[in-house]
């Protein structure tokens, strides 16, 4: 059921409900799913355009920073950021234009990005929420680890933090943008799997045609949760259900974060 609580455990075999997954056999979504991604995303964009904003709790004005996916820039995330702005939040974009992936050593690149972000938002009295789509979600999680005192929560949309090397259909795009195939050493891959020390919500779809949904979930804990929606990968940034989840998560008190209540919020 969409919106249900999800559980995944560490180790060579991962359990998700009644499904047992081996990290060695995890693979990217079937190419047929990838092929219909643009069509599904267009339908989800149209649904967003013809669906009015649902009544939501008004925001407390804290800063929300958006990180785009690979090959995208702020324009892709503008509909979601505009929605959050209408709720009363101060919305910012990551500040680096098109996301072409980390250059050079990814750890050093992310450290520089964190410094830039901190400098561009020096006074976030209520803390920042970081919202990242796909690869952008990995950035959000890593930045939260470097300055947890500045970040109140992280929300990721279809981000493959649990296994970034074998779970996506976008290696060709990374190579096109950078002239080389992506490489992630085992130590950095373990770092990506480690959750930030702040409340973290992973929104994912089992019908994602770009990223394997298994790579987007982790063991839930006091500050970590997984929320399922029915969406394409490209449409996650436009989907009305994603908006509902994001609005609810942003409304969580800075010192009183509670997990998503699936029974109280029926997602279609």
Q: Which tokens in the block code for residue 239? A: 């989907």
The structure's pTM equals 0.85
In a domain, 89, yes or no: yes
In a domain, 129, yes or no: yes
Helix (H) or strand (E) holding 226: strand 224-228
Cross-strand partners of 132: 67, 156
- Phi, psi of 129, rounded to the nearest 5 degrees: -100, 130
Residue 14, pLDDT score: 33
In a structure prediction context, what are the per-residue pLDDT tens digits for the chain, which is 268 residues long? 444 444 333 333 333 333 334 444 577 888 888 888 889 888 888 888 877 676 667 899 999 999 999 989 999 999 999 999 999 999 999 999 999 888 888 899 999 999 999 999 877 778 999 999 999 999 999 999 999 999 999 999 999 998 877 777 666 454 444 555 556 677 888 888 999 999 999 999 999 999 999 999 998 889 999 999 999 999 999 999 999 999 999 999 988 999 998 887 777 5
- Residues 83-113: b if buried by 16+ CB within 10 A, e if exposed: bbeebebbbbbbeeeebebbeeebeeebeeb
In a domain, 38, yes or no: yes
CATH number at residue 73: 3.40.50.1820
In a domain, 242, yes or no: yes
- Tally of structural domains, the chain: 1
In a domain, 263, yes or no: no
In a domain, 81, yes or no: yes
Q: State which residues form the domain around 88.
A: 30-50+61-250
In a domain, 259, yes or no: no
In a domain, 268, yes or no: no
- The 3-state DSSP class for residue 39 equals helix
Q: Which tokens in the block code for residue 24? A: 């060695």
Q: Which tokens in the block code for residue 93? A: 């974009």
């Amino acid at each position: 059921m969409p919106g249900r609580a999800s559980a995944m455990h560490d180790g060579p075999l991962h359990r998700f409900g009644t499904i047992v997954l081996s990290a060695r056999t995890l693979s990217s979504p079937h190419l047929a799913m990838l092929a219909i991604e643009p069509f599904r995303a267009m339908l989800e964009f149209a649904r967003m355009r013809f669906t009015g904003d649902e009544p939501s709790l008004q925001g407390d004005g804290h800063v929300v920073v958006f990180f785009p996916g690979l090959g995208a820039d702020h324009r892709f995330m503008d509909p979601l950021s505009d929605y959050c702005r209408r709720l009363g939040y101060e919305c910012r974009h990551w500040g680096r234009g098109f996301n072409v992936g980390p250059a050079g050593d990814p750890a050093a690149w992310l450290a520089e990005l964190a410094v830039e972000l901190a400098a561009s938002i020096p006074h976030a009295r209520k803390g920042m929420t970081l919202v990242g789509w796909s690869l952008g979600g990995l950035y959000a999680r890593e930045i939260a680890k470097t300055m947890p005192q500045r970040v109140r929560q992280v929300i990721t949309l279809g981000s493959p933090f649990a296994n970034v090397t074998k779970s996506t259909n976008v290696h060709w795009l990374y190579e096109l943008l950078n002239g080389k195939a992506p490489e992630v050493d085992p130590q950095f891959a373990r770092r990506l799997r480690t959750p930030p020390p702040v409340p973290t919500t992973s929104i994912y779809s089992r019908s994602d045609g770009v990223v394997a949904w298994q790579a987007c979930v982790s063991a839930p804990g006091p500050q970590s949760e997984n929320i399922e929606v029915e969406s394409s990968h490209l449409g996650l940034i436009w989907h009305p259900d994603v908006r509902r989840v994001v609005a609810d998560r942003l409304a969580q008190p800075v010192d009183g974060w509670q997990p998503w209540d699936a029974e109280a919020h029926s997602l279609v």
